[in-house]
Structure 1
């Protein structure tokens, strides 16, 4: 992986009326990365994608795609997979490919040759005559991926491409992304799934239009300022019992366990023991654990600024 920047934002801001979607964003994405945009709904992820492609322009600052301020021109060397499946449901897989190939200005023979290669890679060549509307959710996303790769891009942007897709199809989709990345394709993806975020070379946390942190998983976790206790209990209302007690910064449920965020492990243990004693409940085992990306996501998503 080189240090060449293929997508950059310099003090970029964007507002929609009174709502500020991006606030002074600075970011450089390097060639060869799989870069992840992470943040809650409304954080600004789609705005960053649309700005990268030249669909919208910043109100202040700048954004460059493949080194160009004219991102619409640079888009000829970029691919895009939108959040919602937006291909033609009453057209076959191949008819969709031919339509988008013509929009890219490619000759019919060139489209056919590229289509066979890409559809074979994503496992859809045998379904080329099936209506897009009759494909499964995972197959629809593979078709959207094939369309995004039709012009042999240098960078591919994907906006929450696997939302609503079953876990097996998500794994297959990401296996394809890794294959194309290993062949030199730079990938930028927004995702609500932390297991997918783990697969990204680097990632950023975005909330309320502001980048809160950028780095590898190890770098992000190393900057997490709190400690965590894992607490597994069947008792009801534990979150309310602990809320506001000394050294309990936050409490979040992960499956059957609580992750207790604390600024002092021993102080938190004492607060937890006191809460359970007050409610006549047996004190469950407590375990000191390391933070994960989900813990960081919850922490960042809860910040007002």
Structure 2
């Protein structure tokens, strides 16, 4: 096995070590300490603070609740999720009506909590469970202006390589008012985030390998951390290997990758019977 990142430390975070709660309407797994589950070994990783893998039953969900000073995003895996927030107005981006945005597979909904925003996330479908990742990042400063974005990321492009989804806002922590209003990401076609942070996703066919360039030529700090998560999408038939190493990661598993630098190349190889949908979070 060829290890290109021999200097990197890769630590598995197995699915069984996640927090887990089944409330009937919500079946949720926590990769990091959240709600009533606390583990001092899993509090954050760089600016990555929360990664929950949620399944919400039909006609149920999270009622309106406030957020502030976090960057919060949902990655829809299957089913549909309806987002309503205190900023949605008639004619706003993605407003399928004057009150909501209904998300499906491939959609990513992003919220800057900033000085305060209230939203709800509800599965209004009568039959289908929604499966999604809820991820929070710590912004580079507090007191930001609340903002939201919704964007769809093409399924077939994810089968060709890692597709960047989030990248830092142009202007960084010292972004001007004009740059905030323009909301331009460092990587074209992505959603801008107020953090030195890149998210990407890929769908890797069995026996195929994707490569990720750490930092994606878009980040400020050259010292990086990368978190990999393999969602539970194929009933246990998907698995991956990182950097040609011996450890095999099954669905629900994650990996902490430390001691990497911008420009390093990380290989992710699909080993299972089914394609592996991999989410990658690259942070300072």
Normalised by the length of structure 2, the TM-score is 0.29
The structure carrying a bigger strand percent of its residues is 2
The structure having more radius of gyration, on CA atoms, is 1
Normalised by the length of structure 1, the TM-score is 0.28
